Amino acid sequence: MASLTANSTIGDWLDDPRGAEALGGLLAASGSDPSSLTPVRALPLQQMVALSQGEMPQSVIDGLVRSVNGGEIPEDDAATGWQETIVVGRFDGKTIVVTGAASGIGQATASRIAREGGKVVAVDISAEKLEAFAQQAPAGSVVPVAADVTNEGDIDRVIAAVGGPIDGLANVAGVNDDFSPIHETSDAIWDRVIGINLTGVFKLTRAVVPGMLEAGKGAIVNVASEAGIRGNASGKAYTVSKHGVVGLTRSAAFMYAKQGIRVNAVAPGGVATGIPFPAHVSEEGSARLHPFQSAIPTVATAAQLAASITFLLSDDGVNINGAILPSDGGWSVQ
């Protein structure tokens, strides 16, 4: 029988008697059970670290792997589940600005573009994580620019760092809200979430479009959310911000359709990233949302979202403009 490793899917672990016992024990200790893992069965066990949003250290995964392999961590380079397939040269000669590039979906998108031949101007407010990402990318492929997408001066620095034509823009940076309904939503949460998720997208896009108009071409992909197309996926501020991103996408797609600029959005469902929640989460809002959020059919990896985003950014998206592409394992049709 093949060894269970961190690369084995959660489904493989649950279907194996030793794996089910080890994983079941871990879940029971936190008052949960294996049915809670149904949406993530297709993900490698390793993704539980990202999914736990800082709660589960790597040592827990290592401990699980050891517990079913006689105390050892077996060699395993045969990953299971979906594998990213690089399209060699798809972004050759292109310069793409990617925000939120220090983490999660933005980093997976930036990484894929760089590995497919593009030059990435990688933008994030987290300078340290951005630098670490740029260091391990193919030499010269990633230009890190530590910047806050809500700050005009920072946006000017991003444009200056590009220093030439911009072929594509992926607006990925975003933050969660606190799941609050409107009567509980503070000005601080509203201003932060609308500021980063919507105004930041507006401001950076406004700065990039003139160059694209001059060139007569360009592709922009905004990251919306399931919360941009329904009312029961998140709190007030996040839902409004992502509906705003959908409106911004459609309006820009219409306005520039005859000038060679395509503007689309990807609406992710659940994705295993480290996107943090604010310190205080609304109890009332969480309770109301819980049954709907727990109906998420699948949770994706950041690389799976990057596959959708890079498709729309690349010339393969040639005939697509103004689309809001759910990348959610089918959640949006439920």
Alpha-carbon distances of 270 from 132, 148, 160, rounded to whole Å = 26, 25, 35
Q: Catalytic one among 238, 256, 311, 331?
A: 238
**Distance from chain centroid for Cα 135:** 21
The amino acid at 245: V
- Asked if 223 is part of the footprint of ligand NAD (rule: CB under 6 A), the reply reads yes
- Asked if 326 is part of the footprint of ligand NAD (rule: CB under 6 A), the reply reads no
Work out how close the CB of 196 gets to ligand NAD at its nearest, in angstroms, rounded to a whole number.
4
CA 91/CA 95 separation, integer angstroms: 8
The region of 20-28, 33-41, 94-102, 288-296 touching ligand NAD under the rule CB under 6 A is 94-102
CA 309/CA 120 separation, integer angstroms: 14
- Asked if 307 is part of the footprint of ligand NAD (rule: CB under 6 A), the reply reads no
DSSP letter (8 states) at residue 71: T
Collect all residues with Cβ–Cβ distance below 8 Å to 57 and sequence separation of at least 6: 49
CA 243/CA 296 separation, integer angstroms: 19
Work out how close the CB of 70 gets to ligand NAD at its nearest, in angstroms, rounded to a whole number.
35
Which alpha helices (DSSP H) does 68-151 contain, by range?
A: 104-115, 127-136
Please identify which residue in 257, 274, 315, 316 interacts with ligand NAD, judged by CB under 6 A: 274
Please identify which residue in 19, 39, 44, 106 interacts with ligand NAD, judged by CB under 6 A: 106
Size of the site for ligand NAD (CB under 6 A): 28
**238 tagged catalytic:** yes
CA 217/CA 209 separation, integer angstroms: 10
Dihedral angle sign, alpha carbons of residues 221, 227, 230, 236: negative
Work out how close the CB of 97 gets to ligand NAD at its nearest, in angstroms, rounded to a whole number.
12
- Asked if 102 is part of the footprint of ligand NAD (rule: CB under 6 A), the reply reads yes
Site string for ligand NAD, 180-199 (x = CB under 6 A): ----------------x---
- Asked if 330 is part of the footprint of ligand NAD (rule: CB under 6 A), the reply reads no
Task: Catalogue the active-site residues.
Answer: 238
Residues in touch with ligand NAD (CB under 6 A): 99-100, 102-106, 124-126, 148-150, 172-175, 196, 200, 223, 225, 268, 270-271, 273-275, 302
